[in-house]
Amino acid sequence: MDPLRRSPSPCSSSRPSSPRTPPCEMFGRVGIEAVLDQMKIKAMKMGFEFNIMVVGQSGLGKSTMMNTLFKSKVWKTTLPGSVVPIPQTLQLHSVTHVIEEKGVKLKLTVTDTPGFGDQINNDRCWDPILGYINEQYERYLQEELLITRQRHIPDTRVHCCVYFVPPTGHCLRPLDIECLQRLCRTVNVVPVIARADSLTIEEREAFRRRIQQNMRAHCIDVYPQKCFDEDINDKILNSKIRDRIPFAVVGADREHLVDGRCVLGRKTKWGIIEVENMAHCEFPLLRDLLIRSHLQDLKDVTHNVHYENYRVIRLNESHLLPRGPGWVNLAPASPGQLTTPGPSKTCRRAREDPEDGF
């Protein structure tokens, strides 16, 4: 086999064809792998951004969960007994922090949705949420379309939306279903069973299975979406995760002494619920997914899929005739248009995946 088969050389002004050649053999080290370190250094210098949104009714422990996830006082948590008025309308509230770990700087923005699902009539309570998410896409799009662009466009797009399902133990409520359906089309959604310490292990499992059934029945495609699995390794890893979603989580930002160890947990009369103990709750799974293994992937899916979908809609908006590539019309968006559910995601890879389970 000739290892030097090369792609045909094109004429001067066209692009060289994408290499489908077999690899070239190198005799001795060139030093190409140094590019990985170069990338890391640059990335660390630039810093990272991550924007997370928590959606759920009051009292489900959203703020506490954020504090637990990021091991810091992201939010001031509301103590039980203190009088905090429930907002009459849904107001989104964002806070940004810079956290650093081993030289890696992360600009974290957490958006809370106080008042969600708390009214008597919760009709269209998802509108402000979708509006906020789409507004961040719009901001990015406007920056991207400038003639003179910034070197690094600040990314305020929501990379992950953690949806808190109340621990009823039955199944998803109509509000949850409506909301999840809409959210999943616009943003990466990770549903969790909140305050899972009120359910036994068996109840959790049954609840989880029912929720999974509900989601399948209503075509709610949560993160990690099956159609974005790139290869067999991804599939295996992500299938395990998909099997356990929604994670049954408990949040805590207080430390207690258990067996001589200092652990984060909730102290109750009947015991201490250790947050980071897999036997007690699935918080470690959530933390690993969101932070330790899939953070970059969450950002990539947001950028390559959700943002691109938004962009396609925006650029096509006032077109009545079919367009070829390159033609863009940027009529300013009217307020009503952007909160309607968008089209289903286009899969990153064109592979058809006939099998449903794995």
Residues 191-230 that bind other proteins (CB under 8 A): 230
Our CB check for other proteins shows the closer of 98 and 257 to be 98
**52-71 residues near other proteins, rule: CB under 8 A:** 69-71
Check binding of 317 to other proteins (CB under 8 A).
no
Pick one of 80, 81, 85, 103: the residue that binds other proteins (CB under 8 A): 103
Does 261 help bind other proteins (rule: CB under 8 A)? no
What is the total count of residues that contact other proteins (CB under 8 A)?
116
Told to check if 278 binds other proteins by CB under 8 A, we report no
For residues 255 and 265, give the distance between their C-alpha atoms in angstroms, rounded to a whole number. Answer: 6
Cα 150 to chain centroid distance, Å, stands at 25
Q: Among 69, 135, 77, which residue's Cα sits nearest to residue 108?
A: 69
Chain residues 15-34 in contact with other proteins, contact rule CB under 8 A: 15-19, 21-34
- Contact window for other proteins (CB under 8 A) among 6-14, 182-190, 191-199, 217-225: 6-14
Please say whether the beta carbons of 258 and 274 come within 8 A. Answer: yes
H or E stretch including 179?
A: helix 174-186
Length of the chain, please?
Answer: 358
Any idea what the Cα angle at residue 245 is, between residues 283 and 63, rounded to 5°?
Answer: 45
Q: How far is the CB of 17 from other proteins (least distance, A)?
A: 7
Rounded to a whole number of angstroms, the minimum distance from the CB of residue 147 to other proteins is: 5
Taking CB under 8 A as the rule, does residue 101 contact other proteins? yes
**300 binds other proteins, rule: CB under 8 A:** yes
Structure tokens at 233: 């390794």
Q: Which two tokens stand for residue 313?
A: 């809609």
CB 212 within 8 A of CB 222: no
Give me the 139-168 binding string for other proteins, x by CB under 8 A, dash otherwise: ---x--xxxxx-x-----------------
Q: Is the dihedral of CA 117, 281, 97, 293 positive or negative?
A: negative
Provide the token pair at 60.
């489900």
Q: Least distance (Å) from other proteins to the CB of residue 82?
A: 19
Q: Binding of other proteins at residue 173 (CB under 8 A)?
A: no
Q: Which residues contact 238 (CB under 8 A, 6 or more apart)?
A: 224, 226, 229
Q: Is 237 a binder of other proteins (CB under 8 A)?
A: no
Among 4, 83, 84, 120, binds other proteins (CB under 8 A): 4
Query: Would you give the DSSP letter of residue 123?
Result: T
When binding is defined by CB under 8 A, the residue of 168, 200, 213, 329 that contacts other proteins is 329
